[in-house]
Amino acid sequence: DQKELEKELAAKEAVKSVKQSQIVGLGTGSTAKYVIIELGKMVKDGLKIQCIPTSTKTAELATSYNIPLIDINTVNHIDVTIDGADEFTKEKMLIKGGGGALLREKIVASLTKEEIIIADASKKVDKLGKFTLPIEVIPFALNYVQHQIVSLQGKGKLRMNNNKPFLTDQQNYIIDSDFGLIDNPRVLAEKLNQIEGLVAHGLFIGLAARVIMGVGDSVQVFN
């Protein structure tokens, strides 16, 4: 359908930035999946890259396409990462974490020289916040962080999976938090960064080098 076509168009445009012998971060989600499929073809045709997955799900998918993986702790930088987003603005501010991979995605993004975000046109927003903000917390801090979210005028809901709390790759919980439309994402991000036990939130500010949006039968790039 239209969205899937736009995801694929964005992914195909993004992989043009992947060069021989690079260290490549692999995103998580249904848009990033198209990147893994494309890179699988390029590896089959002789592309030599070493990849770092942002989730166990992505690691399994990449392995199924014979994409070589390496341990993030064996590198001190990543050349290029291609990842999705739940929302993005023209200033390249993002909400991520819909797929639950936000902590590893943020660490990989922070290590990456060129973080490329790919998305279908439905992800573009004027203001972040229609999509609830994923917040990853250690279980020990669940109640404490919930209270901190309330004090920041948010409304948090523990993410569930089959009637049990969803667990991230790190065995942490996610609180999907509604702060309404967020006037100043940077200010909210800085407040969230102070909360003990909150290990990651989905506001990615200043991390994206480029956003490639599939729209109709072409792409639009936000630099």
Residue 176 binds ligand DER (CB under 6 A)? no
Active site residue 60: no
Looking at the DSSP assignment, which residues form a beta bridge with residue 221? Answer: 212
Q: Phi-psi region for residue 121, left (φ > 0), alpha (ψ -120 to 50) or beta?
A: alpha
By C-beta, is 92 or 96 nearer to ligand DER?
Answer: 96
> What is 64-123 written as a DSSP string?
HTT--B--GGG-S-EEEEEE--SEE-TT--EE--TTS-HHHHHHHHHHEEEEEEEEEGGG
Check 6, 38, 105, 136 and give the catalytic one: 105
Restricting to residues 128-167, name those near ligand DER by CB under 6 A. none
Question: What whole-number distance in Å separates Cα of residue 159 and Cα of residue 169?
Answer: 14
By C-beta, is 13 or 44 nearer to ligand DER?
Answer: 13
3 annotated as a binding-site residue? no
**Burial code of 111-133, b = ≥16 C-beta within 10 A, e = fewer?**
bbeebbbbbbbebbbeebbebbb
Residue 28 binds ligand DER (CB under 6 A)? yes
Minimum distance, C-beta of residue 148 to ligand DER, in the bound complex (Å): 22
58 annotated as a binding-site residue? no
- N- to C-terminal Cα separation, the chain: 27
By C-beta, is 79 or 86 nearer to ligand DER?
Answer: 86
Q: Which stretch binds ligand DER (CB under 6 A): 36-44, 94-102, 174-182, 213-221?
A: 94-102
Give whole-number Cα distances, 27 to 34, 51, 66, 74, 130, in Å. Answer: 10, 10, 16, 19, 22
Q: Which two tokens stand for residue 98?
A: 């819909």
Residue 27 binds ligand DER (CB under 6 A)? yes
Residue 30 binds ligand DER (CB under 6 A)? yes
Minimum distance, C-beta of residue 202 to ligand DER, in the bound complex (Å): 7
100 annotated as a binding-site residue? no
By C-beta, is 134 or 154 nearer to ligand DER?
Answer: 134
Question: What whole-number distance in Å separates Cα of residue 54 and Cα of residue 199?
Answer: 15
Residue 105 binds ligand DER (CB under 6 A)? yes
- Binding site, residues? 28-31, 83-86, 96-99, 123
**Residues labelled catalytic:** 105
Q: List contacts with ligand DER (CB under 6 A).
A: 27-31, 83-86, 96-99, 101-102, 105
